[in-house]
Amino acid sequence: MQKRIVIIGGGFAGINLALELGKNKYYQVTLVDKNNYNFFPPLIYQVATAYLEPSSISYPIRKLFRSKDNLHFRLGELLKVVPEAKQIVLNNGTVDYDMLVFATGAETNYFGMENVRKHAIPMKTLSDAIQMRNRILTHFEEATITQDKDEARKMLTIVIAGGGPTGVEISGMFAEMRYRIMRKDYPELKNTGANIYLVDGGAALLKPMSVKSQKHTLEELTELGVKVILNSHVSDYVNDEVIFSDGTKIQTKNLIWAAGVSAMQFEGIPITSYGRGKRLMVNPYHQIEGLTDIYAIGDTCIQSGDDAYPEGHPQVAQVAIQQGKNLAANFKRLAENKELHAFTYSDRGSMAIIGRNQAVVDLPKPKIHLKGFIAWCAWLFIHLLSLISYRNRINTFYHWTVAYFSRDQSLRMIIRPVNLPSVDAEPLEESNLSPQNLNKL
């Protein structure tokens, strides 16, 4: 009789675990996610800046599972775990398991700043990216209408908090848009005095990367016109004003938050199982400490036993992918009564794109630093290969090619979803199908 593995989360870790177990005779696998698609987080900033369409970096989970009879998908949101009953409670029912795997990733961390949480633009999910695109483009349109120059400047000024790869890539993209696109599409906005700011609390951008990469990135962004502020962090965001730790302020309606992430906590998991950053503490075999038959992989966990990473592995895609594949291999070994393999992370390097023909790449083995056009080509190649389907790769390559040769793209459309009634809402009676009620649909 096949054992039931339930995976919570359809990101890099969860999808790779599930696909590696596809067609396995020992297990029935159910993947639970609140979205019915997998998406590629490293490229959501390109959706947010209207360089890619959402479908270029996302793919339906059910279509991924289509040819694998033992893989199943359940749309739902985890509310509670009941370890003693080996059951999880979702917002739409319950699911029983023999083994449970948390692959829930991480969520945006606002460090307790409520005003920032309410008013800043997060950059973690595909929904965040679409919201950001609509908001930024709407502000551009509003700025062409207003007669108040100070108000227009606030609508066009962009502050990006967080000097990691996401912050660097967004700021570079906006800088290129300002020079190559906005001058053509928005001639009314000339000489507004708007700026792009990239802010980080550390002494350098791209903290985990080499000094050479950090220096080159700072030089290139400065040349693009991005104003980089280091050794300072956002402390509040009130009345369209970003307030910094040193007391300085910048007026803007666009604060993009790429400054940190935190794992999530779930009812039913003991508080003693969580470590730094709310990450679930696991052993080298991905088992959560103090629990039986419950595992965690990816950004949501912090592992002991890897001497090269005593403070835990970095919360990056490669760690999640490798952990998902290692746990899948261990589940197969477990079914065949073979010895389990402890997880050891193999660092494939770090990279970040800065702008057109500019990127930085650090490779650990052998220790190589690349910059400029070669690094830019490497970044494009790796990210294309990392997309989950051929359709995604073809769509993304097409849009990149058009944008490169035309120095433009045609996706700058504001598309707002209509507010639809809940699926649980009572249906309208036939006699109530008036024009006013039809508008509610």
Residue 177's pLDDT is what?
Answer: 87
Mean pLDDT of 356-378: 93
Check which CATH number belongs to the domain holding 274 and give it: 3.50.50.60
Same domain, 226 and 240: yes
How far is Cα 438 from Cα 441, in angstroms, rounded to an integer?
5
Segment 40-47 shows an average pLDDT of 92
In the predicted model, is pLDDT for residue 151 greater than 60? yes
Task: Indicate if 397 and 306 belong to the same structural domain.
Answer: no
Of 280, 310, 335, which one is at a domain's C-terminal end?
335
| Domain shared by 154 and 92, yes or no | no
Q: How confident is the model at residue 426 (pLDDT cuts 50, 70, 90)?
A: very low
If asked whether residues 152 and 231 sit together in one domain, one would say yes
Q: Over the chain, what is the mean pLDDT? A: 90
Q: Which of 392, 62, 415, 111 is nearest to 277 (CA)?
A: 111
Domains contained in the chain, number: 2
> CATH code at 196?
3.50.50.100
Residue 416 pLDDT > 80? no
DSSP label at 22? Answer: T
Q: Would you say residue 414 has pLDDT above 90? A: no
**Residue 230 buriedness (CB in 10 A; 0-12 / 13-18 / 19+):** middle
Residues 241 and 139 in one domain: yes
Whose CA is closest to 422, among 441, 398, 401?
441
pTM: predicted TM-score of the whole model, two decimal places: 0.88
Does residue 314 register a pLDDT over 60?
Answer: yes
> 179 and 281 in one domain?
no
Q: Is residue 284 part of a domain?
A: yes
| 183 lies in some domain | yes
State mean pLDDT over 4-30.
97
Give the angle subtended at the CA of 41 by the CAs of 308 and 408, to the nearest 5°.
130
**Positive or negative, the Cα torsion across 7, 10, 16, 22?**
positive
Q: Is the domain of 119 the same as that of 191?
A: yes
In a domain, 382, yes or no: yes
Whether the Cβ atoms of residue 259 and residue 107 lie closer than 8 Å to each other:
no
In a domain, 375, yes or no: yes
In a domain, 102, yes or no: yes
Same domain, 26 and 138: no
Whole-number pLDDT of residue 406: 82
Residue 316 region by backbone torsions, left for phi larger than 0, else alpha for psi between -120 and 50, else beta: beta
- Report the pLDDT value the prediction gives residue 418, as an integer from 0 to 100: 61
Residue ending a domain, among 335, 358, 383, is: 335
Residues 164 and 257 in one domain: yes
Mean pLDDT over 18-39 rounds to 96
3-state class of 347 per DSSP?
coil
Is the pLDDT score of 200 beyond 80? yes
pLDDT of residue 429 exceeding 50 = no
| Domain co-membership, 280 together with 369 | no
**Residue range(s) defining the domain that contains residue 285:** 3-34+76-106+264-335
Identify whether residues 249 and 385 lie together within a single domain. yes
Q: Do 299 and 353 share a domain, yes or no?
A: no
